[in-house]
Structure 1
Amino acid sequence: MADLQDDPPYAGIGAEDLPAPAVESGALERAVELLSVHPVADGSNALVWTLRQRPYHDIETPEAGVDTDIPRLRAGGVGAQFWSLLVPPGGPRDGATDDQVLSDTLEQIDAALALLRRYPDGLLLARTAGDMADARNRGRIASFLGPVPGRTLNGGLGPLRAFHALGVRLLAPAGASWARDGLTDFGHEVVREANRLAVLLDLDGCSPAAARRIAGASKAPVLVSNTAAASLNPHPGNVTDEVLLALREANGLAMVTFDTARTGDSLQAVADHVEHVRSVAGPHCVGLGAAFGTERDTARPPGLTDPSGYPLLIAELLDRGWPEADLALLTWGNAQRVVRDAEFTARAAQHRGS
């Protein structure tokens, strides 16, 4: 925890920017204070795709049609963001071939890099845990690129290496032929190369069997960028307790979404899922991945309809008796640790020449 506490506080959070609280005001003030030191590292935001449909939208100014912009990220205490580069299901290229998926992914990467260039005072490309701290020290939001779809690796590792060179740091195996029910021989090669490059494997959308197999095969921690507890809500996108235990064994990370279809339609329901993940996977393996970045009509619990609502969730957890040390892990520490551990694994692999 010392490395978090030694960094200057993250600027940009003000109680006047927050939605009307549904929690005790004292807890909300404590939540805002905690997030000024331990900001949120959010695991999933689809803004890159949404902005491709709205090419003239300015994210320095709040706009009713989109739920994410820099002012609301700052108001919510978001200090790091994983920008998803997946094309949403049901989009214009649904049912695309692997080659089309690769082309779409390159377009997504290009759009993400253009976004970061357009807003250099708010967003900073992050590749490492050190970049996370540097961005926070400079009052910017550390921006990790990914995940990209595993389907882009159509029998070769070249695309993965190219993605890494472009700054991508997450890969999603779900839907790839090499990771459907477990791992093929090529799938094991993908995992080894991802470990060597410090590219995190995002198990969102993987079957429980595949998720457990990948978590066991990876020498670096794995994560699920946006999910919830299947034992509380048997949604197909939620993780089972068996997967949570596999994440605990692998020192991985399950990041809880704010999607009402997965969690329920209240802030308290989201908090229930966060608490369940902590109880099963442990306080070092729970994070937050709201899955914002969509049109404003996406169903979210009241108070959590955009990133500015994060302090309300932290206040709810404070009211439930969460120690501040566990909250610091939930918001920032666990995500930073997973990124750092992936770097350690990569350096060890490169030293061995594997």
Structure 2
Amino acid sequence: MLDPRTPLIFDGHNDLLARIHLKHTSIEDVVGGSAKGHIDLPRALKGGFAGGFFALWVPSTQTGASANGSQESGNYTDVPLPGMVAWEDAIKVVISEVAIFQRLAAAGVLTPCTTVKQLKAALPGEPMAAILHLEGAEAIDPEFYTLELLHAAGLRSLGPVWSRPTLFGHGVPFRFPSTGDIGPGLTDLGKELVRQCNRLKIMLDVSHLNEKGFDDLAAISDAPIVATHSNAHAVSPHARNLTDRQLAVIAERDGLVGLNFATAFLRDDGRMIEDTPIEPMLRHLDHLIAKLGEDRVALGSDFDGAIVPKDIADIGGLPALREAMRSHGFGDDLMAKICNGNWMRVLARTWGEEEEL
């Protein structure tokens, strides 16, 4: 009988660090299994959640509507975004969240990893294998001193924007129906950020970039093009999803897309509601595989940052997704690639470890 917890899942995106920073849950609750949200250690073991990218994310300091606030009503069809967050505000939050990441490691929840060798060694263990990711570069200064500092602290993945504008570029709004062809792309400073990340071998994430920013990044970067938590626009025409043209660029650059579990980006009506079946996830996976190939599709849940289908609910419910994938006809080899293997492949290419593995 197949173990419902295998293959182990390595995931492209979660917001646990921000959730703890905002005091919506605690490190003690994550250790003990009573965390208010999607992720804690006992549920990780139950669901076969072996780890993933843990995001540093800065909440907006401005007043007004926020993307997260709209989730309660399910209205994710046109969410006004706040303006730019100042570096002085952002860096304080990011320092706090890096400290939370380190405290989770000290508590036996995470194993921080900066190489694929470390990831592979950590995956079977009880602590979750963890990559430090920056979602939105508000905490990076124009001289890139904080980029160097965060890299020294373990940062190995970065998205230039979280939808709202930064000094580095412009993102997509939470709008349905819409394409991501909205507004200008990367600034001159944003283009230099891409070069600096290439130099440091920090993976670049295009998930929240608008189409012009996506094209700017693709024109400069010498690394695979990766969307850690995005879906197919052809299946659900949300601005956050990737068009077939963008998918073709990702395939050409031997990159990867991690399937986002957020229901607003899965559904054909753009609503962020829990009452959503797993079936749309399979339709997105089918389309992504058809456009990218079996080696360039993975998972990027957005746990603790979005509403996910009710039959999954949290990381403890991941066996339901595996069962649905198998029933849909995904074989063992494809399951292993989507659940963890494809992340290892693209990270080895991005981090320069191909010859070592």
TM-score (normalised: structure 1): 0.81
Q: Which residue number corresponds to residue 141 of structure 1?
A: 128
Q: Which residue of the other structure, out of 192, 212, 217, is the alignment partner of 2:215?
A: 212
Q: Distance in 1 between matches of 2:30 and 2:303?
A: 14
1:61 aligned partner, one-letter code? G
1:339 aligned partner, one-letter code? L
**Do 2:185 and 2:216's aligned partners in 1 also have CA atoms closer than 8 Å?**
yes
2:95 aligned partner, one-letter code? L
**Do 1:196 and 1:345's aligned partners in 2 also have CA atoms closer than 8 Å?**
no
Deviations along 1:262-317, whole A, 9 cap, x unmatched? Answer: 113111111111221111122111111111125xxx53212211012222212212
Deviations along 1:89-145, whole A, 9 cap, x unmatched? Answer: 5389x64313212222222212211222122xx420111101101112544321111
SS at match of 1:242: helix
Q: Distance in 1 between matches of 2:221 and 2:304?
A: 29
Q: Residue 337 in 1 paired to residue 345 in 2?
A: yes
Q: Residue 245 in 1 paired to residue 248 in 2?
A: yes
Gaps in structure 2 of 5+ consecutive residues:
61-65, 70-81, 171-183, 268-275
Q: Distance in 1 between matches of 2:195 and 2:153?
A: 19
Higher relative contact order (CA 8 A, sep 6+): 1
Query: 1:237 Cα shift?
Result: 1.4
Q: Distance in 1 between matches of 2:211 and 2:219?
A: 12
Q: Which residue number corresponds to residue 292 of structure 2?
A: 281
Q: Residue 256 in 1 paired to residue 259 in 2?
A: yes
125-134 vs 229-238, greater mean Cα deviation: 229-238
SS at match of 2:10: strand
Gaps in structure 1 of 5+ consecutive residues:
1-28, 348-354
Distance change in 2, residues 1:215/1:292 (3 Å): same
The percentage of aligned residue pairs carrying the same residue is: 25
Query: 1:184 Cα shift?
Result: 3.9
Q: Which residue number corresponds to residue 127 of structure 1?
A: 114
SS at match of 2:239: coil
Alignment of 1:1-354 (within 5 A): 29-30=1-2, 32=4, 35=6, 38-52=7-21, 53=23, 54-55=25-26, 57-63=28-34, 65-88=36-59, 90=66, 95=83, 96-119=85-108, 122-174=109-161, 175-180=165-170, 181-264=184-267, 265-294=276-305, 299-344=307-352
Q: Which runs of 4+ in 1 moved over 6 A?
A: none
SS at match of 1:206: coil
Query: 1:318 Cα shift?
Result: 1.5
TM-score (normalised: structure 2): 0.80
Query: 1:251 Cα shift?
Result: 1.3
Distance change in 2, residues 1:66/1:57 (3 Å): farther
